[in-house]
Structure 1
Amino acid sequence: MFVITLRFADKTKAPPLMDGHNAWIKRGFDDGVFLLVGSLQPNAGGAILAHNASRSEIDVRVQDDPFVAQGVVSAEILDVTPGRTDDRLAFLKA
């Protein structure tokens, strides 16, 4: 499982890239990789909970985000090995 943070580096570049960024998010959900996408508060960027992919696949996927590619955000990928979960999230331990 991965926790990905996308912290704003240059928000002024974001508006023309928003459609591409939203399409990238949609692909993550369509591919079954993204479980959750949300905003970092206050207005600091975004966070993604991802699974069902290798670290190298996550690295490539993150680099494909137009926001990352164009320097709108800086990305950090945390590789988390779940040890204990609520029963509803047991699939993350697989």
Structure 2
Amino acid sequence: MFVITLRFADKTRAPQFMDGHNAWIRRGFDDGVFLLVGSLKPKAGGAILAHNASAEEIEARVKDDPFVAQGIVSAEILAIAPGRTDERLAFLKG
């Protein structure tokens, strides 16, 4: 499982790449990799919870985000090996 943070580096250019960024997010959900996408508060960027992919696949996917490619955000990928979960999230331990 991975937690990905996308922190703004140049927010002023975000509007011109927003459609591409949103399409990238949709692909992550359509591919079954993204579980959750949300905003970092206050207006600091975004975060993603991802699974069903290798570290290399996650890195490649993140580099494919137009916001990352254009330097609008800086990305950090944290790999997590779930050891204990609430029963509703037990599927993450697989």
Check whether TM > 0.5.
Answer: yes
Query: 2:28 aligns to what?
Result: 28
What amino acid is the match of 2:10? D
Give the letter for the 1:84 counterpart: R
Corresponding residue for 1:77? 77
Which residue matches 2:38? 38
Within 2, Cα distance between the matches of 1:50 and 1:15? 24
- When the two structures are superposed, what TM-score results if normalisation uses the length of structure 2? 0.99
Gaps of 5+ in 2: none
In structure 1, stretches of 5+ residues that fail to align are: none
For residues 15 and 33 of structure 2, the distance between their equivalents in structure 1, rounded to whole angstroms, comes to 25
Cα deviation for residue 36 of structure 1 reads 0.1
Identity of aligned residues (%): 82
Q: Which runs of 4+ in 1 moved over 6 A?
A: none
TM-score norm. by structure 1 comes to: 0.99
1:43-94 CA-to-partner distances (Å, cap 9, x unmatched) read 0000000000000000000000000000000000000000100001111001
The Cα shift of 1:13 comes to 1.0
Aligned residues: CA RMSD: 0.3
The one-letter code of the counterpart of 2:12 is T
- The equivalent residue for 2:7 is 7
